[in-house]
Amino acid sequence: MPGSGTTVPLVSIDVLVETGDWPPEPALIAIADAAVNAAFAELGLTGSATELSLVFTDDSHIQALNGEWRGKDKATNVLSFPAFQLRKGGALPPMLGDVILAFETVFREATLEHKAFDHHLSHLLVHGVLHLLGYDHETEDEAEEMEGLERAILARLAICDPYA
């Protein structure tokens, strides 16, 4: 099924609901718009427009991608594929990249952690977008910086600290 687009300041978002028991596409678009807007506002991003692709899929598809691209034969909640390698605070490229989310894992985590599904989804969207913008969590210092940004961005959305 073809994706439909939506736009937030600076970012044109293309949404594809590939498979899974995701909420209706308009609800996903609203969650994505809010999460991306909050991330860009917190980071103070301005300048030329960019594009972002969001794919909502299932555990089977994300497991295949995780195996192929990361050598990990297991499902995960979110994968980010940057179109360009960015450094934090660098100029926005014409295309940020792809963020892919797996329904079963996102739903299971939200349930196990007693979080509202849309709050957990917002967190994972923010997390994925931060990766596209050059942030990572490979070292303790990087993880602290990225988690601090996630907390601040989610606070803009009135979502509790996901790490509490």
CATH code, domain with 19: 3.40.390.30
Predicted confidence at residue 9, as pLDDT, reads 56
C-alpha to C-alpha distance for 50 and 73, rounded to whole angstroms: 32
| Residue 164 predicted with pLDDT over 50 | yes
For the segment 65-86, the average pLDDT, to the nearest whole number, is: 94
Domain-located, residue 161: no
Residue 146's CB: how many other CB atoms inside 10 A?
19
Domain-located, residue 118: yes
C-alpha to C-alpha distance for 135 and 144, rounded to whole angstroms: 11
Predicted confidence at residue 2, as pLDDT, reads 43
Helix (H, G, I), strand (E, B) or coil at 95: strand
C-alpha to C-alpha distance for 69 and 52, rounded to whole angstroms: 19
Number of domains the chain contains: 1
Residue 50's CB: how many other CB atoms inside 10 A?
22
| Residue 22 predicted with pLDDT over 80 | yes
Whole-structure pTM value? 0.92
Range of the domain at 50: 4-156
Domain-located, residue 163: no
Q: Are 133 and 40 in contact (CB under 8 A)?
A: no
For the segment 81-104, the average pLDDT, to the nearest whole number, is: 91
For the segment 125-141, the average pLDDT, to the nearest whole number, is: 95
C-alpha to C-alpha distance for 85 and 134, rounded to whole angstroms: 7
Based on DSSP, count helices (H) and strands (E) in the chain, helices before strands: 5, 5
Average pLDDT, the chain: 92
Q: Which residue has the higher pLDDT, 126 or 7?
A: 126
Domain-located, residue 60: yes
